[in-house]
């Protein structure tokens, strides 16, 4: 396993040097140069070996690791191993007692969320697409907004922040007014203007803003994005030839670069 990990970290040039060293030490290993001239028969044999490789590796990896571990090892790297927002939300709605149509509509809403967790479509589009009443569209959106993370499914920044206050069971009437009416002034750092409009001392406004800072304006950003998946590109392909007997030292193993 240590050796495998070391090999996987090598570049193509480092691996070629490594294999050349191994070949010099072990007389039963033969390295074939793919740049050398091949007759049609030899070339076709190599192509056949490569065509068989995927099937053999799939069978082997299922036996040794199972499907889930195989995907973890080869599909994606880095943050792409994390669950994306859509998957996380869908995992929550399966526990809800929903009709087939309700599930379809809620799934549609989830798929219409942007990377920040905001709803990208107008509810009128939802009503027309599924032929439902406005009250039903609002009710199903409200179900999505009740999922984790708090603030998901909001249609704008104000709604996102207010949903998070609701989740925390915070009445906070002054903060709610600041969010609903003066959020743009906060972005411009015009605290004194807010103070005058609300007829509230500046220090109290600043205290409310400190609470505001504890909220997340982009609840979906902590999840991986499918758009940014990084797939592994192998530096080398190793093929084990059919008919090779590991106990038969007279038949050389071959590494095809």
61 vs 105: which has the higher pLDDT: 105
Cβ proximity of 254 and 19 under 8 Å: no
User: pLDDT tens, 198-231?
Assistant: 999 999 999 999 999 999 999 998 886 655 544 4
Lowest mean pLDDT among 71-80, 119-128, 235-244: 71-80
Residue 29 CB-half CA count within 13 A: 13
Percent of the chain whose pLDDT exceeds 70: 63
User: pLDDT tens, 40-52?
Assistant: 666 666 666 666 6
Q: Is the pLDDT of residue 29 over 60?
A: yes
Q: Which residues contact 164 (CB under 8 A, 6 or more apart)?
A: 150, 151, 215, 216, 219
Lowest mean pLDDT among 12-21, 151-160, 206-215: 12-21
Cβ proximity of 163 and 154 under 8 Å: yes
- pLDDT for position 33: 63
Whether the bond between 149 and the residue before it is cis, its omega within 30 degrees of 0, is yes
With the C-alpha atoms ordered 149, 155, 160, 162, is the resulting torsion angle positive or negative?
negative
- pLDDT for position 39: 62
């Amino acid at each position: 396993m240590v050796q495998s990990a070391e090999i996987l970290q090598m570049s193509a040039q480092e691996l070629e040097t490594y294999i050349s060293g191994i070949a010099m030490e072990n007389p039963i290993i033969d390295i074939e140069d793919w740049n050398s001239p091949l007759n049609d028969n030899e070339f076709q044999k190599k192509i056949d070996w490569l065509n068989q490789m995927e099937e053999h590796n799939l069978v082997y990896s299922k036996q040794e690791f199972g499907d889930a571990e195989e995907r973890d090892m080869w599909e994606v790297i880095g943050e792409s191993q994390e669950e994306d927002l859509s998957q996380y939300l869908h995992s929550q709605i399966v526990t809800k007692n929903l009709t087939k149509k309700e599930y379809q509509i809620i799934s549609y809403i989830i798929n219409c969320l942007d990377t920040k967790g905001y709803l990208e479509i107008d509810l009128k589009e939802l009503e027309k697409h599924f032929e439902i009443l406005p009250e039903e569209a609002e009710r199903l959106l409200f179900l999505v907004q009740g999922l984790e993370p708090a603030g998901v499914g909001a249609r704008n920044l104000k709604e996102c922040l207010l949903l998070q206050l609701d989740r925390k069971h915070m009445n906070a009437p002054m903060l709610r007014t600041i969010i609903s009416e003066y959020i743009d002034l906060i972005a411009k750092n015009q605290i004194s203007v807010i103070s005058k409009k609300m007829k509230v001392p500046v220090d109290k406004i600043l205290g409310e803003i400190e609470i505001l800072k504890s909220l997340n304006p982009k609840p979906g950003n902590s999840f991986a994005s499918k758009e940014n998946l990084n797939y592994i590109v192998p530096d080398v392909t190793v093929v084990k030839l059919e008919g090779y007997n590991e106990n038969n030292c007279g038949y050389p193993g071959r590494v095809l670069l």
